[in-house]
Amino acid sequence: MADAVANAVADAAAKLKLTEPAGESGPKLQLDEVTGEMVSKGELKKRQAKRAKKANQAAKPAQPASAAPKAAPKPKEEASLDPQAMFKQGFLNDVYNERPVNPVVTRFPPEPNGFLHIGHAKAITINFGFAKFHGGKTFLRFDDTNPEAEKEEYFTAIVDMVHWLGFSPCALTYSSDSFDRLYELAEKLITLDSAYVCHCNDEQIKAQRGGEKGASPRFRCEHAEQSVEHNLREFRAMRDGKYKPREAFLRMKQDITDGNPQMWDLAAYRVLNQPHHRTGDKWKIYPTYDFTHCLVDSFEGITHSLCTTEFYLSRQSYEWLNQKLVDYQPMQREYGRLSISGSVLSKRKLKELVDKKIVRGWDDPRLYTLIGVKRRGVPPGAILEFVNELGVTTTNSIIQITRFEQSIRRYLERTVPRLMLVLEPVRVVIEDAEEADETDVTIPFSAKNPEMGDHKIKFTPKEIYIDRSDFREVDSKDYFRLAPGKTVGLLNAPFPIKATSFTKDEATGKVTEIRAVFDKETKKPKAFIQWVGSDGRKVEVRIHQPLFLSENPAAAEGGYLNDLNPNSEIIYSDALIESGIDEIRRRAPWPEAAGEDKLGKGGPESVRFQATRVAYFALDSDSTDDKIVLNRIVSLKEDKEKS
Ligand SMILES: [Zn+2]
């Protein structure tokens, strides 16, 4: 009896003592990015020194003395950038100083004819952010002057995305709200002898504009000579349905001699026999972008009309028309577009990918539509940070996917909790485990941020699961995970384990079970691996890689569909995740920032976490109460290989 008590005390003491290093170093373990192992700080330093030495030696014979040894590129400066830097300096600061008014009024004017993509995230951030920074307001204006392409689902999706990014428009407006006023101004323009109804066809107009390559002299057609009365009559005839599409259009009488093609008598109105989703059958003619945009900017009192540089040449006609017709003059300025290389953003191509079922829909996590980026789990705050980091200039930027992902990774690193997940589980039975070894272990959700709290999971040594990639049938000296006769640490568990034997499925050659024992002697194992107990949840994990193989799919021989990456989605249908996922789901959104909090709980994609040693993940919208589906948001480090 006394012996039993003494033994129990000694056991407990031994456990306590042995638990300490693992328990203590648990949160302090660091990822060795080369091997993917969790190791102690000291071990990591040792490994890095060894690698540096090796790299130096390798570099020396090839490099003459003058060349500095090639060090690994330094990780980008971690010092966090002022989140409002893009408004305080550079282009946007200059734009403000050009017209330092109060209040600032901007607009975000999407055409509701498709889903927004990553480039629009920049436009939203600039327009809403600029006004917000200066204490002003922003209209969300649907530029709905082309009824042919507009669909209700696009309107809703656009509003959702603006809110998701954390912005609130002061009002939702429609260019079509101004159709009456625009029509009156078109008549006024005719009265000023600054517009005429033209019946020329495309070929004639091309000739008037200098023909092929603009080689021949430019000239005006005879319609430009018509009287004001004639033009008014003809324009009203257009309005009243006398003409079919393309038979007549209203042209602005600008300056055909100007060097700027945007001044060569642009179209102001065209005949379109299409009902409009808001004005119904009222109109048979619709104003063009060039006629509408500048005037509605003036109606809404826009102070700074910010658009991409493709509209740079349009600025002249924008100002010309406003000066002719309205008192209030908004100011248009242009910034460089954002796109992501190795992706396609054109509506036609995206539609083809969706129609041919190459992707799961417009919100496929491999697409750079905003709904796709959202479904993938990229937090809105990470997008804002990315745009801010890039800054705003007049140059178009084509950003590599890897840079975008690096930015997301940095954001997630600070803001989401950690869980243990195994992609390809293999059962491990710890043979010498006793009933008493089954115990609760407490794991912090974050190594750095105690505010995220902690949670308990069951350590079930009679049956735990580790990842297939963490076991080798044959050990080697430079390998530090599990192998017969080798010891490895189990993250957060009381003792390391040593494999003793394993069984294999003869048919597949795959290991089906590993037998192991506790290794209570080894106090500091070289490496730690994650595991899931017998109470883990089965999950489907989707690992996404870029959809295309090259940086420029459009240039691929035979078109972008020939550039598809066959491994762009790899599915692990039998993955296991620890029970901590329940609390993470309950407590979402992660992080509680930028937009998602305004939408209540946020969607499934706001359930974000880092799976230790694996990647960052978010819940996919295919998840149900009974089935968890996860998308990889980004890997833990840059993927240099694969596909
Ligand atoms: Zn003409």
Q: Helices 380-390 and 118-133: crossing angle, nearest 10°?
A: 80
What mean pLDDT is predicted for residues 359-363? 96
How confident is the model at residue 59, as a pLDDT? Answer: 61
- Superfamily grouping for domain 340-418+538-635: Ribosomal Protein L25; Chain P (2.40.240.10)
Q: What is the pLDDT of residue 79?
A: 57
Residue 3 has pLDDT above 90, yes or no: no
pLDDT 10s digits, 399-410: 999 999 999 999
End-to-end alpha carbon distance in the chain: 63
**Are the C-beta atoms of residues 542 and 365 closer than 8 Å to each other?**
yes
The pLDDT tens digits of the residues spanning 309-331 come to: 999 999 999 999 999 999 999 99
Q: Would you state the pLDDT for residue 593?
A: 61
- Ligand 1 geometric centre to CA of 198 (Å): 4
Measure 236 CA to ligand 1 centroid, in angstroms. Answer: 17
Average model confidence (pLDDT) across the chain: 89
Question: Which has more confidence, 601 or 121?
Answer: 121
Rounded to 10°, the helix 289-299/314-325 angle is: 60
* Residue 32: pLDDT band with limits 50, 70, 90: confident
Q: What does the pLDDT look like over 172-211, one tens digit per residue?
A: 999 999 999 999 999 999 999 999 999 999 999 999 999 9
Distance between CA atoms of 70 and 67, rounded to whole angstroms?
A: 8
Average pLDDT over residues 153-164: 91
Distance 269 CA to ligand 1 centre (A): 14
Choices 3.50.50.60, 3.20.20.70, 3.40.50.620, 1.10.10.10: CATH for 85-335: 3.40.50.620
Tell whether the model's pLDDT for residue 642 goes beyond 60. Answer: no
Asked if residue 561 lies in contact with residue 352, where contact means CB atoms within 8 angstroms, the answer is yes
Residue 639's pLDDT band, with cuts at 50, 70 and 90, is low
The mean pLDDT value for 223-243 works out to: 97
Please identify which residue in the block is written with the tokens 């998308």.
631
> What's the mean pLDDT in 569-581?
97
| Range 462-486 average pLDDT | 95
CA 221 to ligand 1 center in whole angstroms? 5
Q: What is the pLDDT of residue 595?
A: 58
Rounded to the nearest whole angstrom, what is the distance from the C-alpha of residue 193 to the centroid of ligand 1? Answer: 15
Q: What is the pLDDT of residues 411-460, one digit of tens each?
A: 999 899 999 999 999 999 999 998 888 999 999 999 888 999 999 999 99
**Predicted pLDDT at 259:** 94
The mean pLDDT of 76-103, rounded to a whole number, is 88
**What single-letter DSSP state applies at residue 359?**
S
* In the predicted structure, residue 45 carries a pLDDT above the cut 90: no
Three-state helix/strand/coil letters over 50-117: HHHHHHHHHHHHHCCCCCCCCCCCCCCCCCCCCCCHHHHCHHHHHHHHHCCCCCCEEEECCCCCCCCE
- Peptide bond before residue 103 is cis, with ω within 30 degrees of 0: yes
Cα distance between residue 400 and residue 421, in whole Å: 29
Distance 249 CA to ligand 1 centre (A): 9
Q: How many CA atoms lie within 13 A of 391 on its CB side?
A: 11
For residue 70, the model assigns a pLDDT of 44
- The whole-angstrom separation of Cα 469 and Cα 603 is 32
If one compares 64 and 623, the residue with the highest pLDDT of the two is 623
* pLDDT of residue 24 exceeding 50: no
Looking at residue 52, what is its pLDDT?
Answer: 85
- Determine what percent of the chain is predicted with pLDDT higher than 70: 90
pLDDT band of residue 373 (cuts 50, 70, 90) is: very high
Residue found by looking up tokens 């003395």 in the block? 65
Q: Which of 127, 149, 147 is nearest to 138 (CA)?
A: 127
CA distance 195 to 182: 14
More confident residue, 266 or 42: 266
CA gap 382, 403 in Å, rounded:
12
Give the three-state DSSP class for 191: helix
Taking CA atoms, 186 is separated from 215, 223, 231, in Å, by 32, 17, 11
Q: pLDDT at residue 65 above 80?
A: no
Distance CA 524, CA 487 (A): 10
Largest CA distance in the chain: 118
b or e along 508-517 (b: 16 or more beta carbons within 10 Å of the residue's beta carbon)?
eeebeebebb
CA geometry: angle 184, 177, 239, nearest 5 deg: 45
CA of 200 to the centre of ligand 1 (A): 4
Radius of gyration of the chain (CA): 32
Tell me if 35 sits within 8 A of 636, measured CB to CB: no
Residue 498, burial from CB neighbour count under 10 angstroms (0-12, 13-18, 19+) = buried
Q: 478 CA distance to ligand 1 centroid (A)?
A: 80
Task: For residue 235, report the distance from its CA to the centre of ligand 1, in Å.
Answer: 13
Using the predicted structure, report yes or no on whether residue 134 has a pLDDT greater than 60.
yes
Contact present, 124 and 132 (Cβ < 8 Å): no
> Who has greater pLDDT, 523 or 294?
294
- The three-class DSSP label of residue 280 is strand
Q: What is the pLDDT of residue 643?
A: 36
Strand 285-287 with 267-271, pairing: antiparallel
Q: What is the pLDDT of residue 172?
A: 97
The reported pLDDT for the residue numbered 264 is 96
* Rounded Cα distance, 407 and 76, in Å: 10
Q: Cite the DSSP H helix spans in 507-612.
A: 581-587
Work out the pLDDT band at 21, boundaries 50, 70, 90.
very low
In whole angstroms, what is the distance from residue 591 CA to residue 369 CA?
Answer: 22
**Which amino acid belongs to residue 415?**
T
Residue 598's pLDDT is what?
55
Peptide bond into 75 cis (omega under 30): no
Looking at this protein, which amino acid is placed at residue 156? T
Q: Break the chain into its structural domains and give their ranges.
A: 85-335, 340-418+538-635
Return the structure tokens found at 618.
Answer: 């978010």
Q: Report residue 287's pLDDT band, with 50, 70 and 90 as the boundaries.
A: very high
DSSP designation for 198:
E
pTM, two decimal places: 0.86
Q: Prior bond to 591 cis, omega within 30?
A: yes
Annotated catalytic residues are 111, 337, 347
The answer on pLDDT for 142 being more than 70 is: yes
Q: What ranges make up the beta strands (E) of 415-508?
A: 418-419, 421-422, 425-430, 439-444, 454-459, 464-467, 487-490, 497-504
Distance, CA of 134 to CA of 559 (rounded, Å): 45
Task: Please report which confidence band the pLDDT of residue 68 belongs to, taking 50, 70 and 90 as the band edges.
Answer: very low
Residue 276's identity, in one-letter code, is H
Residue 43 pLDDT > 90 = no
Distance 240 CA to ligand 1 centre (A): 20
Instruction: Give me the amino acid identity at 391.
Output: G
